[in-house]
Amino acid sequence: MDLLDIQNIKKYFKQPWGINYALDGVDMSIKEKATTALVGESGCGKTTLAKTILGFYRPDSGKILFKGEDITDVKTNNKLVRENIQIVFQNPFLSFNPRYTAFATLYEAVRAMNNISKKEVRGFLVESLNSVGLGEEFFFRYPHQMSGGELQRLSIARALINKPKIVILDEPTSSLDISTAVNILKLLAKLQQEALLSYFFISHNLKLVKRIAHYVFVMYYGKIVEYGLKEQIYGFPRHPYTKLLLDACEYKMKDYPASGSKHKQGCVFREICPHSKDICGNEPEKTEIEPNHFVFCHFV
């Protein structure tokens, strides 16, 4: 059984100019002790999915199961979700209270879950900060006194402090320099082995994903278009959108027609797709082209 099972989640937002189909029937699973990555361009619904899992948004329909238990409605299962699923946000500068020191930030996180006295907690917090590579000099610093990389480490420490099973990483390195990003990825890999964590890694950068992920899901405007093992997605990409994303990472992609279609019916990618035919007006079936590798396209 998968650790987290997302079944046919739909989330629409009503906007003045029409309905935004942010998530349009997403099926996904997160495996235990592995990294599952979700890739796609800005605005395709990656962050909406993360927020829906955490219960910040209530889906219009569909189910989310954690170890077989329904967590779609967070109100009934709040404790289960908060104890087991944590998140690291994209922008570290916006994810901390500016009036709290590093220590106070973590203390608040610990207190939310455990009954632990101030005296006992100190050793615990020191250990937690050391595990993400923050030394003594950082304990009493405020967010504005730390750099982006240091704050992102603190953000990871806060997510891990109550020993969750799943950590959602919402573009954790995209606001960082490349050398800092590599260090953060190394840290994440180390912590995963130590604590047997499952990561749900959200990114638009297929190069980063290649380094860290075991499973890759490719999303385009609210729908999953292809998923499989990392080796399958990088070795034999089958959906035209996956191929396009891989080209974009190498800066080979030259032209990309104006923003994509947001059709309710049929293949979402059909307006941009070079192979588009009339049949694409119908909903593409899920096709298993090799074990574990699924594609939603009429031409595979």
Q: Given the complex with other proteins, which of 101 and 205 has the nearer CB atom?
A: 205
Q: Give dist(CA 202, CA 189) in Å, integer.
A: 15
Running DSSP on this structure, what letter comes out for residue 159?
Answer: H
**Nearest approach, Cβ of residue 90 and other proteins (Å):** 12
| Count of Cβ atoms closer than 10 Å to residue 171 Cβ | 21
Using the rule CB under 8 A, is 91 a contact of other proteins? no
For residues 30 and 85, the answer to whether their CB atoms sit within 8 Å is no
**Nearest approach, Cβ of residue 52 and other proteins (Å):** 21
Select from 65, 80, 182, 189 the one that contacts other proteins (CB under 8 A): 182
Length of the chain: 300
Between 256 and 295, how does the x/- string for binding to other proteins read (CB under 8 A)? Answer: x-x-------------------------------------
Using the rule CB under 8 A, is 181 a contact of other proteins? yes
Select from 25, 62, 133, 148 the one that contacts other proteins (CB under 8 A): 148
**Nearest approach, Cβ of residue 230 and other proteins (Å):** 13
Within the chain, where are the H helices? Answer: 46-53, 78-84, 102-113, 118-131, 148-160, 178-195, 206-212, 230-235, 240-249
Select from 14, 75, 118, 254 the one that contacts other proteins (CB under 8 A): 254
**Nearest approach, Cβ of residue 232 and other proteins (Å):** 18
Q: Give dist(CA 167, CA 34) in Å, integer.
A: 11
Using the rule CB under 8 A, is 144 a contact of other proteins? no
What's the count of helices (H) and strands (E) in the chain, helices before strands?
9, 12
Chain residues 193-252 in contact with other proteins, contact rule CB under 8 A? 204-208, 210-211, 244-245, 247-252
Chain residues 32-71 in contact with other proteins, contact rule CB under 8 A? 41-43
247 CB-near residues (< 8 Å, 6+ apart): 253
Using the rule CB under 8 A, is 253 a contact of other proteins? yes
